[in-house]
Amino acid sequence: MDLELDHRRAGMRLPSASKTPAKTVWDRVSSRPRHTVILCFGVVFVVTLILAVHQYFLVRARELDNRSHRLEIQARVLDVAVRNNRQHLQFLRESAERLLADRTAQLDRTPDASLQAVLRAQDERVWNLQVRDIDAPIRGIGTQQLAVTPGLHRDEPTFVEDLRLAQMMSRLFAVQFQMGTGLERAVYVSPTGIVVAHPTIDDDEVVRLLQMYGSSRLLQLANQNPLDYDVTFDPVRGRKNPAGPRLLFGTAVMSNDVVRGLIFFVVPQRIVQDYLWNNTTADETHALIDPSGMPIATSGSTFSVNDENWLKTLPAQWNTLSASTLFRTPSGTLSAGQDFLLFRKLDTADLVLTDYVSAATVFFSVVRLSSALFAGVWILMALLLWATLFVVDQLLSTQMALNGRLRELSLADPLTGLANRRRLNEEFDALSRRNDERRIALLMIDIDHFKVINDNWGHTAGDETLKHLANVVRIAVRPGDLMARLGGEEFCVLLPDTTADDAARIAERVREAVARNACVLQETQLTRTAPGREIWFTISIGVAESVSDNCFDLEGLIAVADQRLYAAKAGGRNRVVASESMQS
């Protein structure tokens, strides 16, 4: 019996004395952490190599997406530039047409001294109209030159009107160049033989411009569609300018469906060329082309003017691609072999911005990104062991600070920095817990005629008014009082340990302080229609107190104070209502 028991006991001890395979592996791993980290790094490295092919295609797709995004940004920038020049031309055209339609100006047709001087100088080949030094020069041709120039005609009433219009254009052109819009020249030409050009041009150029007037494409478009003309952007006709390629914007000034003049801007092509050059990486080839495939600008350091289809300069596998294919959709990506062509159509002009990416460029870009990925994994594994404790400590510290910050944000109004409704509830609950029958007063404040402030000064000024009110009220109340914003222009002030009479006196002090202090705006905050920098306004206040009004919860206090606030509004505003007797 004893021997059998000893054998059983021995049998029971034998399993506990031996180690399981998992325990053995863990002991070896924990005893050699450095080798374990190296082994894990090796496993990750092998897995990364196995997934390299899959990763290549993922990274290639991401690289193409990044290039497409950069192309989109460039297209949007070009759209903005074209749109700005269109808008400036539209403004000049509308200003000119308003002047021609102004009946008040037409009543006084008597030329002033400067205009009379021009009328006397009409026999000269080229005459000048006196303007200020800062304005664009006004020049024109005499009657003899006018008579032999096709498309031009002159009668004195129309000529005087055009001279006055030219005076306005002279001033507006000067302002246009002061704005620094990148223009090389702004020109106004009238069929009565007047030219306004900034910067100035010589006599021969004045005559040449007027000789080109009758055959200009812009004049033909305006005459063909007098009710449907707009600003024309022509990036092709100025390509072979002797001084370098130019981009042209033009529009016609109309009066009673008759062309009274042409306005056009001349923009150097180098502005677009320099933009593409400076904002395109060395391994990209960007080109801005028109519907025929003709390049308008490229990402090269220089621009070669030729009439060749830019798509024909691509490798042979792209020979079947036509420009019309690119203009069928707003954007896209085409492939030929391992090459890619990304394109995006401009919204403001009939142009397409393209990006040709060769197979070699794609491959080396992916290799660079993939190599960085592998190196990052290796470095991460090497640093992981000793960095873990540090990272955990930093994460905990950051999380605690973030939690504190989030709590502050959740209890504050983002505009004024005042307490919000949640903070108000917490403060009231804390005061009530100390003493159920504690005297707690509440002021409900609302700005009188706040909509008028928003309408006259704008919503930015309205926000400044709310912040100004918050600052004034915080100074007027006691240090222990809590001011909160409930929403819009409604505020409240929580007054602990305050009787109804004391609350009414505090409310009156707040009302007077607000009425005495104007909100003063900065110049940058003023709209063009703002009456002035100072905003004087008043407030209406409703007062409630927990004991006298038998309201021992926050909702009840707010309801009573809000009712009295409405009574103050109904009673004429800029007043305090603190009791039922005052309300009635």
Catalytic residues: 489
User: Structure tokens of 77?
Assistant: 């920038």
Selection from 362, 70, 350, 92 nearest residue 233 by Cα? 350
First to last CA, the chain: 106
Helix residue spans in 458-548 (DSSP H)? 459-476, 500-516
User: Structure tokens of 563?
Assistant: 């009712």
Q: For residues 237 and 248, what is the distance between their CA atoms, to the nearest angstrom?
A: 8
The answer to whether the beta carbons of residues 170 and 196 sit under 8 Å apart is: yes
CA distances from 384 to 42, 308, 387, 436 (A): 14, 58, 5, 56
User: Structure tokens of 191?
Assistant: 């069929």
The answer to whether the beta carbons of residues 280 and 299 sit under 8 Å apart is: yes
Q: Are strands 539-545 and 576-577 parallel, antiparallel or unpaired?
A: parallel
Q: How is the beta sheet containing 246-255 ordered, strand by strand? A: 126-129, 138-141, 194-198, 185-190, 258-268, 246-255, 232-234
Which residue type does 153 have?
Answer: H
533 DSSP assignment: S
User: Structure tokens of 69?
Assistant: 């995004």
| Residues in Cβ contact with 114 at an 8 Å cutoff, skipping those fewer than 6 apart | 129, 130
Q: Are strands 258-268 and 285-289 parallel, antiparallel or unpaired?
A: unpaired
Sign of CA dihedral 422, 425, 429, 431: positive
Burial classification of residue 412, based on how many CB atoms lie within 10 Å of its CB (0-12 exposed, 13-18 middle, 19 or more buried): middle
| Residues in Cβ contact with 121 at an 8 Å cutoff, skipping those fewer than 6 apart | 127, 142
User: Structure tokens of 15?
Assistant: 């399993």
Helix residue spans in 51-179 (DSSP H)? 52-101, 103-107, 113-120, 143-147, 156-178
Residue 254's DSSP bridge partners are 259
User: Structure tokens of 112?
Assistant: 């002033």
The number of C-alpha atoms within 13 Å of 44 and in the hemisphere containing its C-beta is: 16
- At residue 366, the 3 state secondary structure works out as helix
The answer to whether the beta carbons of residues 289 and 351 sit under 8 Å apart is: yes
Q: For residues 247 and 183, what is the distance between their CA atoms, to the nearest angstrom?
A: 10
